[in-house]
Structure 1
Amino acid sequence: MKLRADVADMLREGIAQRDIMRTLHVSYKTVTSHRIALSLPAPKRGGHPLRPIETEFHARTEPVDGGHLRWTGHHAHGVPRLGRQGKHPSAYRVAFRLHHGREPIGHAKPGCGYAQCVAPAHLEDRPMREQLRSQMAGIFGGAR
């Protein structure tokens, strides 16, 4: 088998098979056959190690006036989302868990009045909202 010098060089440099395929516009079969012919080990699976979720979360936020955090990452159906390992949890749930150390019960939502605020201390889950509603009804009277 005749080896392409560019494919062989990239394999020897340790460049990922996927990157070689994209850069040189060659097939998986071409890269694999070259790797076998050069007696190079199979590529490691798993890619890059995951950064901590706190790091991923804060990398996609931007502080705004009033102590709020604006989400600069992905949104799906108007909800801020954090893509991680093929899953897309709500940024609200991630922030709530970071601040309170537990999963929210029901939906986590900003309770501060700032639209789509993801500041961890500003998020409330269902029991927190129900308690606030009950307290407000006790102070101001319930709806008639």
Structure 2
Amino acid sequence: MDIDQTFSAIPRKGFQAQAASPVASGFPSPSAGLEGLSLSLDQHLVERPSATYFCQVSGDAMILAGIHDGDLLVVDSSLPPLHGRVVVAVIFGELVVRRLHIQSAGRWLLAETSDASIKPLDITRYDQDQLFWGVVTWVLHRP
């Protein structure tokens, strides 16, 4: 699974969802009285804006982890890459999404797919400080 695009997380100030027009027809709306409330996904998905990026992925190497082709990932570059986390790593100049597997014998990046041609990447010998771009904290996709 590769990264197609990246975006920084910059909260927009002053953005507010527009309330629907108050035309009555049929049953009353369950949201009656809540007009004017707004929702900012930044407030729910981004804990550290200066260290957070959005990435659009391509491929199906992480399909069994619930990450699909075209999904949008929220990636926090300030989190440590720990065993079991889904990470974005730089491998041969490419950004890839994999699950980090750490054992006493070494470190691997594992795809989560039924495609047997995608082998685990042994990253034991690589400089860990420059290998990891961030940790995936959220996955957004359309049903």
Q: TM-score, normalised by structure 1?
A: 0.25
Of Structure 1 and Structure 2, which has the larger fraction of its residues in strand?
2
Which structure's relative contact order is higher, taking Cα pairs within 8 Å and 6+ residues apart?
2
